[in-house]
Chain A
Amino acid sequence: MRFSLVHKLASYLMAVAAFCATALSGELHPLLVWGVAILIPLSWSWEPPRVRIERYELWWNLGTAACFLYVVFDFLRPEGSLLSSGVDLLAFLLTNKLFNRRTSKDYLQLYVISFLLLVAGTTLNTELSYAICFFSYVIFATWALTLFHLRREMEENYLLKHSGDEQSEKVEVERILNSRRIVGGPFLAGTSAVSMVVFLGALGIFFLFPRVGMGFFFARQRHGQTLAGFSERVDLGMHGAIKTNPQVVMRIEFPPSETPERLTQLHMRGVAFDAYAATGQWLHTRAERIMPLPTIDGVARAPGALPSDRADLRAEIYLDPLNSRVLFGPARPVRFELPPPIVPGQGRVPLLTTAEDEVYTAVERPAGFRYAVESAVKLPPPSVLASLPEQPPPPALARYLALPEGLSPSIAELARTITREAKGPYAKAIVVRSYLQRYRYTTDLRRMAGGDPLADFLFRARAGHCEYFATAMAVLLRAVGVPTREVNGFYGGEWNDWGKYLAVRQMDAHAWVEVWFPHYGWVMFDPTPPGAARAAAPTGLWSKLRQIEDSVELAWYKHMVEYNLDQQVELARTVRKLGARLQIRLPKLARRPATGLLVLVACVLSIVLARRALRRRGREGPAVRAAVRRIQQPMLSLYQTVLRRCARAGAVRGAAQTPLEFARGLAARSFPGADVVGEATELYYRTRFGGRVPGPAELGALEQKLDRIGVTP
């Protein structure tokens, strides 16, 4: 390929990688992203001599000024942000430079702009897409910067053509820029290998650079997912809308002893509601319900946990950025553990809790969030719950018995009918759940407009999704004096075989009921027909690929985006442990200083010998042989000429004679020019075996003496 073409291509790829690093964040205006995406390919052919760029210079300058004013104006708005306004300006400048490429200076400016875009991407885009863009950028930047350097060197004053006494003249740069001999496949492969080393070096520095931050300006952002069903008010029917959304909400890692079958049956508790309105909304009634949740060293006792609760499952949860601050926990959370802050000295995120035993972070989480939960998964034995006598709940639970005004009387009637023969809260709960599980599960709801959605579900449609089932159970049990509350969270998820974790998606959102029992508190009941709420596990190649992609994404968040001092210390400990394990495996002798030294010397020696062997082996390759031949050729040819001259004068080198023996023989019999032959032999040996090839001057001097061979003075 032509040099200029390769350079242009590498520069474009570098610019595109940097632009994608910010554009894929979703933070830029779509119009801007599409505009730049269309203009970049158009600019490819926009260059001299095809286009007279200077004719449009004024327009580009005016455009830049206008863009700058817009950015200033945008930034001065109350909701304006320097970062997003700056990125808008950078995107324009990038396009401007691509359309105005003339000299190497323009290319340099292009690289600076693309670098700034890459840096902006670190704040705007923490998705896996940034990792891909970064990796591409490293490769293309290595190409582009190397080629840029060569191009500029060509354009500067080095390529001079001297001829005799005439004035030196510059060789036409265009001709060299169009040369196909400077860069080719091997060059690109070589620079790609270099970029790999750069990439690995970047990773090494990333992991080893001490995370000792001050954290003055912690300003990371990630575009949070909109999560329905986890706000202050939830309307019936919301879950139906998200049942097809495959976006991952959280990834959960469990101890290796847990089986995927058990883990995919877990309910992840999120928010709970105490009040139901007949119009189909679940609400929180307590205005003063939010209070701080005390933590000691990042560990907090879950608000709903009883002293008797024993945690039997530990889950490490990686939450994606959400528009909700709620923290989820499997089954009945007992303990929440918060990670240390990414920036030391910043302090852990404070937690809040509510009367409904929800757990929230006190601050917004623009980035993803990692924490651990220990939960009691095992429910109290049914026999124990069934044996509890029916007694009036304490007055503090009155709100969990409240029925909405305007609730259809037929609902209460239905509750009484169903539980007619049930004794005790547990029996009532089981009866109601069994009754509801006869209903059909569907997300395709055709509700009557303006009517009571619950009555519509129970008496007309007899089909609905989890929210309807949970609401129906909660209201029916309340109608017969059993305290209940509705819980929203997630159920199930997709087990990722590659990453060995559970990926919970938006479509796994679920609702169920908690029933209060004396001494046991709130116990979970899920009235949705078994299996109905679970999305069918995807299969096939596409699913596998998606799993791989998701596990890479988790690794990206876990080990790169959320990497902190603790992980760094853990990494150091792992390395230390590994070292210690190796030391244990070494024989006792090797641990003595003298023997250790001996082992070290042996290791060094083996490395040297291996290197030598490799080099020797490397010398046997055809490319290397050719290179050696090329280096030695002038001297070898000259020596052949010497032999021919000698032969012409009657001195023929015997087949069994070494060059040195031959030269000495000539000197012994005072052969004319024997000294020249001796000199040539010495240079020949030096070239062949000494690795010191004579230069042109030395060869020239010897060549001038050749006429003396065989000629008597």
Chain B
Amino acid sequence: MLDLARIRKWLRPPRRLKFTREGRWFCAITIGIGIAAINTGNNLLYLVLGMMLSLIVASGILSEVALRHLALFRQPPARLHAGRPFLMSITLRNEKLRLPSFSIEIEDLLGQRPLDKKCYFLKVPAGRQQSTSYRHTFPRRGRYPFSGFRVSTKFPFALFRKSRDIDAAGEVIVFPALYELFAPPAPGITRSGDEPHARIGRQGDFYGLRDFRPGDDPRDLNWRKSAQKGRPVVREQQDEASRRITLRLDNALPAAAALEDHEGLERAISLAASLAAFYVVRGYSVALIARGQAVAPGVGPPHLSRILRCLALLETAAPSTPFASAPATAGEWNPGASEMLLISPNGVARPAAYGAA
């Protein structure tokens, strides 16, 4: 099996050299001076010609020195979302022991092509490292593989831009875009527009205050409010059972789906991600079920990352593909006992239905 990446790497020139505008002029003038020197026999013109050619050679050597012994690291933010700008931190370490590196430009190589954003380092002293970042926005969710960095410099005379590629493989997973939900669905709904029916329980988020009734647990007394009102007041909390959400995402698309359908699915995925984020942030245990994919229920930011990652990499499925069976990792979890949100590209789960912007 041919490894195209490896072949490409072998064929890749070790350095790329490109004229700058000034460099083009400089070379043209050098040729002109050379012709004038040959024509006139003016030895001092030969001297000037020698200086110009030496400057070109010195430029090549110094730029090479600047580009050598550099180590580069990228650090993406913990979460990237499609359509949302992020800062990619780039660290450049000059591993030369004596010489600083001047005027270094770094481009991240997405696949084999550089991103349109550059990081510039004016001076990195010997043995030091510096960090900067570039701002970028990925328009779509998914996996973005980085192959390395393109390091270039115009140092010292800006006659040429010399660049080399440094291998530093890595990837980022761009999570689906998140909508800002103005009217988020409260727990207990099963379809869009249904009223929430929260149940009161012993544990969970704060639900409200009411007067003490006989039989209430004295531990629920809110002493401050009781003192204010002059009568015993207890706090009510939501029942944990009502804080379980299953997001059921229909990622099916027919083979001949139109572009609009694909966009609809993307919106549905974004909505699912937005809802997941919404509920996880509020302490809900959230599970995700899609055709061919499922994420077991869980709570907390790491779990949200799991869901978002699954959504980021979710592919369209054929309509015949069944929904994945509910994950059984969460011991007592019973999907039937949890609230279910149905999200589909062409159904009620359009973002607007939830007041998404």
Contacts and interface: CB of A to CB of B under 8 A. Distances in A.
Given A198-B54, A219-B40, A695-B91, 14 more contacts: A123-B42, A126-B44, A134-B47, A142-B58, A154-B122, A194-B156, A201-B53, A202-B54, A205-B46, A205-B54, A206-B49, A211-B41, A213-B37, A696-B75
B196 interface: no
Interface string B136-165: 000000000000000000111110000000
Secondary structure type dominating chain A contacts: helix
Nearest first, the 3 closest Cβ-Cβ pairs linking A and B are A627-B127, A158-B120, A201-B54
Interface string A475-504: 000000000000000000000000000000
Contacts of A205: 46, 49-50, 53-54
A226 B217 CA distance: 123
19 contacts: A134-B44, A142-B156, A146-B156, A158-B122, A159-B120, A194-B156, A201-B50, A201-B51, A201-B58, A209-B50, A215-B41, A342-B43, A343-B41, A623-B98, A624-B97, A693-B93, A695-B73, A696-B89, A696-B131
Interface string A288-300: 0000000000000
B158 A206 contact: no
B44 A561 contact: yes
Contact of A149 (B75, B103, B129): B103
Interface in A686-710: 691, 693, 695-698, 700
Contact of B39 (A191, A215, A630): A215
Nearest to A121: B44
A367 B41 CA distance: 12
Nearest to A211: B41
A306 interface: no
B235 interface: no
Contacts of A341: 41
A102 interface: no
Interface in B95-133: 95-99, 102-103, 105, 118, 120, 122-123, 126-129, 131-133
Contacts of A691: 95
A696 B103 contact: no
B74 interface: yes
B337 interface: no
Nearest to A627: B127
A130 B133 contact: no
A146 B123 CA distance: 13
Given A149-B156, A211-B41, A696-B75, A206 B97 contact: no
A220 B40 contact: yes
B97 A628 contact: yes
B5 interface: no
Question: A interface, how many residues as a size bin?
Answer: 35 or more
B97 A618 contact: yes
Interface in B250-301: none
A560 interface: yes
Interface string A70-104: 00000000000000000000000000000000000
Contact of A165 (B48, B85, B97, B105): B85
Nearest to B123: A182
Given A158-B118, A159-B120, A630-B128, A212 B103 contact: no
Most B C-beta atoms less than 10 A away, residue of A130, A142, A149: A149
Given A145-B156, A149-B156, A198-B58, A162 B127 contact: no
Contacts of B330: none
Nearest to A562: B43
A605 interface: no
B40 A202 contact: no
A542 interface: no
A219 B55 CA distance: 27
Interface string A135-146: 000100110011
Interface of B: 22, 29, 33, 37-51, 53-55, 57-58, 62, 71-75, 85, 87, 89, 91, 93, 95-99, 102-103, 105, 118, 120, 122-123, 126-129, 131-135, 154-158
A365 to B, nearest CB: 14
Nearest to B62: A194
A614 interface: no
B42 A220 contact: yes
Given A198-B55, A697-B74, A119 B48 contact: yes
Contacts of B46: 205-206, 209, 563
A168 interface: yes
A204 interface: yes
A346 interface: yes
> Of B39, B43, B87, which is in contact with the most chain A CB atoms at under 10 Å from its CB?
B43
Contacts of B91: 695-696
A146 B87 CA distance: 31
Contact of A122 (B44, B53, B154): B44
Contacts of B45: 119, 122
A570 to B, nearest CB: 15
Given A158-B118, A194-B58, A202-B54, A212 B135 contact: no
B58 A197 contact: yes
A209 B127 contact: no
Given A158-B105, A194-B62, A216-B39, A203 B50 contact: yes
A201 B57 contact: yes
Contacts of B99: 190
A438 interface: no
A168 B135 contact: yes
A119 B29 CA distance: 11
A626 interface: yes
A444 interface: no
A59 interface: no
Given A122-B48, A198-B58, A209-B46, A149 B154 contact: yes
A705 to B, nearest CB: 15
A627 B98 contact: yes
Contacts of A108: 22
Given A145-B157, A162-B133, A623-B98, A213 B58 contact: no
Contacts of B120: 153, 158-159
A415 to B, nearest CB: 54
Contacts of A152: 158
Given A153-B103, A215-B40, A343-B41, A162 B135 contact: yes
A420 B97 CA distance: 95
Interface string A167-185: 0100000001000001000
A384 interface: no
A584 interface: no
Contacts of B102: 150
Contacts of A626: 127
B40 A217 contact: yes
B61 to A, nearest CB: 8
B154 A118 contact: no
Contacts of A209: 37, 46, 49-50
